[in-house]
A and B are shown apart, each in its own frame.
Chain A
Amino acid sequence: MLNVLKSREALLAASWLALIALAGSITPNFVSIQGLRDLMTDLSILVVLAVAQMIVILIRGIDLSVAANLAFTGMVVALLSVANPGLPTVVWPLVCIVVGAMVGMLNGALIAELQIPPIVVTLGTMSIWRGMIFVISGGSWVVQHQFPEGYLAVPRTQILGLTLFFWIGLTVAAGMWLVMTQTRFGRELYGMGGNPRAAQYAGVRVKHHEFWVYTITGALAGLSGWLWTSRYAMANTDVAAGFELQTVAACVIGGVAIAGGAGTVIGAVFGALFLGTLYNILPVIGVSQFWQQALSGAIILLAVYFNMISRKPPVRRILPLASPQGAGE
């Protein structure tokens, strides 16, 4: 398994680097220290959400509410920070994680306990939380000068030349990699995605795991709410609209099987890096705004197709391999 996946991931990593090199050759500024630092800062949010989406897709689900969760949580924390500017900055990410997790728990409860299909549940909660932003904010925006100073400054703190955004993205990815490869919970998720009935027979607590997967995804979406509001210094009803589809696309590009059961954290991370970089590069290399959306859609389709042909259904051989076709005649 490792060989196939590793080569797929290596290929993806190489195309990502090639993409950056291409952009650099057209716009040298893109590969300057500052340019790369900005790129990594930008990409961290998509990385966090792609990893969050990956574990859901792995168990044959989907979470279309991640961007709405991000926007809602972002608004909650923005309003709180405006009202309580004196609180230490560490409070905000914690609030975000808790609120996001609660949003995720609602998804998890509806899906695991009531057995409503994930696409239906998360489409519904997507609308609910987008609507709730309006309700709690009265439709007004929170803009740059309203945020407490630390709120915007702290995530921009540089450690070893890279912003805290980058380090958070890396930590989430590394943590999730650890969970998915080295813990019982993670491996049982692979089992659930590959063969849900067999997982049940093997004693995997399917409903329990399902609930917690959506909760974790919600918590990460909440964390992204903090990252997003501080990165763009803004909270409103339309924040990250449509971003949920980018997270799904990043997973697909990263080789996560849309039917569940197969995919890696590393793949999802590189899928996010590739897609995020692409979105960043298109305007830089002068692709018109009109074409950007269409072009990235085409690239996603292409990635899905390559994924498909590299994952052919196993051939159920009956004849022994040794005898070539038509032997004996």
Chain B
Amino acid sequence: MAIGASAGAIQALSRILPELPEQYRIPILIVVHVPADGSDLPQLFRTKCRLAVKEAEDKEPILPGTIYFAPPDYHLLVEPDRTISLSLDAPVLYSRPSIDVLFESAADAYGADLTGIILTGANEDGADGLVAVAQAGGVALVEDPAEAFAKAMPSGALARCPQATRLSLDAITARLLAIEAS
């Protein structure tokens, strides 16, 4: 599962991640746009979540029941063997980490097994990535722009990716629980 968010991300993620039970097995990879010397998101969410939360490390295997955050100033990619790669390639849409980079590589690695979720944000990073998720047969979900703190990112994703489903944060949480149960 891959999640991308920018402005308003902490509040939105705080509505979703703490709801996931200890037994939740699907690994979750998250890109949030933060400044290069930005805040310690894994630390922040570790105290709120029942799942293991960590900063993604280069070449580590992606394990069930774990939430991985992209480190500030690095792109986060999934390799075909489902391990993590980091990169310092140029920012994409002024963003590093970039949601597109995570989603496109994760779509390659996971294909139809991937769920990609775009939450609140003020730029259009993530729209191309969500298209890649849908084209690989995965599930594309977008936070309803009407309730998002910043609308540009979810609106951009919905415009670019017509297959995507628009949902409230509570409905996204319910979907994540349902996907795990199925």
Q: Do A and B come from the same complex? A: no
Q: Which residues of A contact B (CB under 8 A)?
A: none
